[in-house]
Amino acid sequence: MEKAAEKSIITVVGKDTVGIIAKVCTYLSEHEINVLDISQTIVQDYFNMMMIVDMRNSNQSFFDTSKGLEELGEKIGVSIKCQKEEIFENMHRI
Partner 1 sequence: MINVGEVTETNKMIEKENLDVRTITLGISLLDCIDSDINKVNENIYNKITTLAKDLVKTGEDIEKEYGIPVVNKRISVTPIALVGGAACKSSADFVSIAKTLDKAAKTVGVNFLGGYSALVSKGMTKADELLIRSIPEALSCTDIVCSSINVGSTKTGINMDAVRLLGDVIKDTATLTKEQDSLGCAKLVVFCNAPDDNPFMAGAFHGVTEADAIINVGVSGPGVVKTALESVRGESFEVLCETIKKTAFKVTRVGQLVAKEASNRLDVPFGIIDLSLAPTPAIGDSVADILHEIGVEYAGAPGTTAALALLNDQVKKGGIMASSYVGGLSGAFIPVSEDQGMIDAVEAGALTLEKLEAMTCVCSVGLDMIAIPGDTKNTTISGIIADEMAIGMINQKTTAVRIIPVIGKKVGDTVEFGGLLGYAPVMPVNGFDCSAFVNRGGRIPAPVHSFKN
Binding interface with partner 1 (CB under 8 A): 9, 11, 37, 39, 41, 48, 50, 52, 62-63, 66, 81-92
Within a 13 Å sphere around the CA of 73, how many CA atoms are in the beta-carbon half?
A: 20
CA distances for 92 relative to 20, 25, 86, 89, angstroms: 28, 27, 10, 6
Q: Which of 84, 68, 75 lies closest to 6, judged by CA?
A: 84
CB of 53 to partner 1, least distance (A): 12
Non-local CB neighbours of 46 within 8 Å, separated by 6+ positions: 13, 14, 15, 16
CB of 48 to partner 1, least distance (A): 8
Q: Of the two residues 31 and 81, which places its CB atom closer to partner 1 in the complex?
A: 81
CB of 9 to partner 1, least distance (A): 6
CB of 73 to partner 1, least distance (A): 14
